[in-house]
Structure 1
Amino acid sequence: MRLAGIHHVTAITADAPGNLHFYTGLLGMRLVKKTVNQDDVRAYHLFYADGIAAPGTDLTFFDWPVGPRVPGSHDLVRTGLRVAGSDALAWWRDRFARAGVAHGVVEERDGRAVLDFEDPEGQRLCLVDDGGAGDSHPWQASPVPMPYQIRGLGPLVMSVPDLRPSERVLTEVLGLVHRRGYRGPATVDGPPVQTEVFSTPDAGPEGELHVRLEPHLRPAAQGAGSVHHIAFRTPDADYEAWAERLRRMGVPSSGPVDRYYFRSLYLREPNGILVEIATDGPGFATDEPPDRLGETLALPPFLEPRRREIEAGLKPL
């Protein structure tokens, strides 16, 4: 039972049409599933990924009519998106400048070249040079040239006031490995803060969680521009064993949840951050052909009888 890397990141938007335009039009990611939040069918759930919707590439959004996030600790504060090479970062820097996207400068952080930026709602993101290691699956129809396309997720950054409770859950429950520490930029104006790096056992940046220690910050308040939860990958065959492990360890969790495209388990680490364990399968081609992903509103079978009601409650994209 070894988590295999980051599975997806789910964030919050209050502007689904603008969100779609930014992530497909400017970032060049593929909309691989247009569906609804299964617990709140009034809200879109939009999934952006690589050309084949591979696990570990999904950045997803719930569309809720909420105000902007209030920054702080007890929160996921930046989502890494991997690209290959310093040339890619320079290309993206120029693209952001032309498009008026808020962005920083290309700099080195934890031994990798990075470029911080934000989406129009203040979602904090970062392009990370992963050196081109591992598989990539470009999207042929992307407006971004193939050499510069986003390859997948990672690393992710979270802010906590106290490392010890979080570390116990990350290492003893989830089996992440503490790799190293470094001094990094603060999430708000201030001096650099200590950051500790944890990762799934066999992964590089695609499995890393960077934990910033910021006891001076107030807890964040979720809203548009927030990350709602993060998910780690598990092989399908290990799913029941993970459910049993959480039960045996006395870790409060959701218990098994079937999301149709994958199966999930949810728990909160001690600082209140929602963490999911998700299976790789069955995948997004379960109800749509691979070459038509995201083109229509997809609903899991248990919601299909309510399609007319659900479609009437959604604003057009």
Structure 2
Amino acid sequence: MTSDFEPTGGIHHVTALASDPQRNVDFYTETLGLRLVKQSVNQDEVHTYHLFYGDGIGSTGTSMTFFPIEHARQGRVGSGQVQTVAFLIDPDAVEFWVERFSALGVDYAAPETRGDETVIPFRDPDGLHLELVAHPDAPAGNPWEHSPVPDAHQIRGFFGVTLALHTAGPTADLLEAMGYARVGDIDAARTRFRADGDLGFVVDIIANEERGRGVPGAGTVHHVAFRVPDDDTHEQWRQALIARNLNVTDVIDRKWFHSIYFREPGGVLFEIATENPGYTVDEELAALGTNLVLPEWLEGRRSEIESKLTPLDISRPATMEADQ
């Protein structure tokens, strides 16, 4: 597939499945120091939260989101899924994060070298496979002033994702059409693709024909979204994907962006989302994430929806101050 229009500009957001919503908030805000930039609900299952985390201003390319389903079954990562989500940090932040993870009892592994990067593998409380990638191209970012993590060491946004597939070929072709150039083999198992831009610019593929299919559930990724600048480019991509015989949805208004969804040839659910209007379309910047917000088409059901959601405590205990 080739195109005469703008390629996707990297990762827009990644959405994963979790279990306990309060535990999810505590880990991503208190441990990782991300900002809760939006409290809403899964628009396809409105009695489940949709929680969005990001940098200090909710920038595109920094947003890790979750559908936390209380008492959800545990998922199993396998073929046809995102295997790992990787965040960018500054190279000087590695020691800080190792010490922080150790002090807070996070499930992590010792830093390892992968090409010119230092990688800290870790898992969240639901077992989601995550990495901190210390990369020389990490941007300065937009730190969150109330984070328990010092500005210089805060997560800057996405580095990328690793896809677990049976075979790489058709997916590799699609990624190249989307603007991810093939870099080559990083190691014996991993093939890298890189886009322009400074956030969400890497997709790695690990292909293994003998690996079993993944099982959705807590601790697995639901989908990965790639960003485009505007609605015109969005529609052009939709038509291009239809021409490729991929089963693409109609455009869906998610209030903060417009979305289309499809399964790439290896089975991973992809989304293409617009950069605008963004998270401040319905909240002031200073108030992001402080209240449950609903798109106007769900506002009439607010009382019903709120009655089915467990209230969240989003106040951060002063136990890990930013000067530690």
State the partner residue of 1:251.
Answer: 246
- Residue 73 of structure 2 is aligned to residue 78 of structure 1: no
- Residue 145 of structure 2 is aligned to residue 140 of structure 1: yes
Cα deviation, residue 158, structure 1: 1.1
Contact 1:90 1:106 in 2 (8 A): no
State the partner residue of 2:322.
Answer: none
- Residue 122 of structure 2 is aligned to residue 113 of structure 1: no
Select the residue among 157, 166, 184 that pairs with 2:162.
157
Q: What letter corresponds to residue 47 of structure 2 in structure 1? A: R
Select the residue among 102, 107, 112 that pairs with 1:102.
107
Q: What letter corresponds to residue 88 of structure 2 in structure 1? A: R
Q: How does 1:147-296 map to 2 (within 5 A)?
A: 147-172=152-177, 174-183=178-187, 193-200=188-195, 202-203=196-197, 206-236=200-230, 237-296=232-291
Contact 1:96 1:103 in 2 (8 A): yes
Cα deviation, residue 199, structure 1: 2.4
| Per-residue deviation, residues 75-100 of structure 1 (Å, max 9, x unmatched) | 11111011111x31111001111111
State the partner residue of 1:187.
Answer: none
Contact 2:246 2:264 in 1 (8 A): no
Cα deviation, residue 63, structure 1: 1.4
Cα deviation, residue 73, structure 1: 1.9
State the partner residue of 2:11.
Answer: 6
**2-structure distance, mates of 1:40, 1:180:** 40
Normalising by structure 1, we get a TM-score of: 0.93
Cα deviation, residue 298, structure 1: 0.4
**1-structure distance, mates of 2:221, 2:32:** 18
Number of residue pairs the alignment of both structures matches: 305
Q: What letter corresponds to residue 38 of structure 2 in structure 1? A: K
State the partner residue of 1:20.
Answer: 25
Select the residue among 47, 54, 63 that pairs with 1:58.
63
Select the residue among 19, 32, 37 that pairs with 2:42.
37
**1-structure distance, mates of 2:229, 2:93:** 31
**2-structure distance, mates of 1:182, 1:287:** 42
Q: What letter corresponds to residue 31 of structure 1 in structure 2? A: L
More off after superposition, 110-119 vs 274-283: 110-119
Cα deviation, residue 294, structure 1: 0.4
| Per-residue deviation, residues 17-40 of structure 1 (Å, max 9, x unmatched) | 000000001111000000000000
Q: What letter corresponds to residue 49 of structure 1 in structure 2? A: G
Cα deviation, residue 171, structure 1: 2.5
**2-structure distance, mates of 1:30, 1:195:** 31
Contact 1:83 1:132 in 2 (8 A): no
**1-structure distance, mates of 2:82, 2:19:** 18
**1-structure distance, mates of 2:138, 2:77:** 33
**1-structure distance, mates of 2:197, 2:114:** 18
**1-structure distance, mates of 2:169, 2:222:** 22
**1-structure distance, mates of 2:131, 2:199:** 12
SS for the counterpart of 2:86 is strand
| Per-residue deviation, residues 137-188 of structure 1 (Å, max 9, x unmatched) | 000000111111000012211111111122232224x3432111122xxxxx
State the partner residue of 1:125.
Answer: 130
| Per-residue deviation, residues 252-281 of structure 1 (Å, max 9, x unmatched) | 101211111001111101221000111110
Contact 1:33 1:47 in 2 (8 A): yes
**2-structure distance, mates of 1:247, 1:76:** 23
Contact 1:262 1:281 in 2 (8 A): yes
